[in-house]
């Protein structure tokens, strides 16, 4: 059972596995340092890129064309959501909640228990999901962009 479960554990920890106890400094040390210290900004940048794929709002709502460019703006196609304000607001709410999820882990490093049993990482995710749920319910059931 041990090797089986170690394999399953491995799946779960694809990004979480720190190779504790192994010294990788002899392998491409610059790359290692680069990744270690630039992980957070790169991650934020990545989530931003990820969201751009989902969400055109940075280009349409706040006009930050310089980030991708007006040429690129014409090519995005999720018009059913972007063409009206409720869709844009919906996407902004989702974006802000995801940014919040990246921000709050700094408060996880002290034992904080809410309502007798909720730990901070669980509660923050629960709030994220509830925000998504409320935004989704309002948008999809009041402003559903396709015809039923």
**Residue numbers 32-71 binding other proteins by CB under 8 A:** 32, 35-36, 39-40, 42-43, 45-47, 49-50, 53-54
Compute the C-alpha angle 82/84/89, nearest 5°.
75
Rounded to whole angstroms, the Cα distance separating 52 from 82 reads 12
Residue number with CB closer to other proteins (62 or 133): 133
85 contacts other proteins (rule: CB under 8 A): no
Residue number with CB closer to other proteins (63 or 100): 100
98 contacts other proteins (rule: CB under 8 A): yes
The DSSP code for 82 is H
**DSSP notation for 26-69:** TSSHHHHHHHHHHHHHHHHHHHHHHHHHH--HHHHTS--HHHH-
Q: Helix, strand, or coil here: 25? A: coil
Take residue 69 and report the two structure tokens written for it. Answer: 């460019």
Residue number with CB closer to other proteins (62 or 72): 72
Helix (H) / strand (E) element for 62: namely none
142 contacts other proteins (rule: CB under 8 A): no
By CB under 8 A, the count of residues binding other proteins is: 80
Sole binder of other proteins in the list 62, 63, 70, 80 (CB under 8 A): 80
Sole binder of other proteins in the list 30, 66, 106, 142 (CB under 8 A): 106
Residue number with CB closer to other proteins (85 or 108): 108
């Amino acid at each position: 059972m041990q090797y089986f479960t170690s394999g399953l554990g491995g799946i779960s920890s694809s990004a979480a596995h720190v190779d504790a106890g192994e010294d990788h400094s002899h392998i491409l040390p610059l790359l290692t340092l680069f990744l270690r210290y630039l992980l957070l900004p790169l991650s934020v940048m990545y989530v931003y890129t990820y969201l751009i794929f989902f969400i055109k709002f940075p280009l349409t709502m706040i006009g930050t064309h310089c980030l991708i460019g007006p040429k690129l703006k014409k090519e995005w196609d999720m018009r059913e959501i972007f063409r009206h304000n409720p869709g844009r607001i919906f996407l902004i709410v989702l974006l802000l909640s995801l940014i919040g999820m990246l921000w709050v882990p700094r408060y996880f490093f002290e034992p904080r228990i809410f309502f007798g049993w909720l730990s901070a990482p669980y509660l923050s995710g629960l709030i994220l999901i509830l925000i998504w749920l409320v935004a989704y319910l309002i948008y999809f059931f009041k402003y559903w962009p396709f015809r039923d």
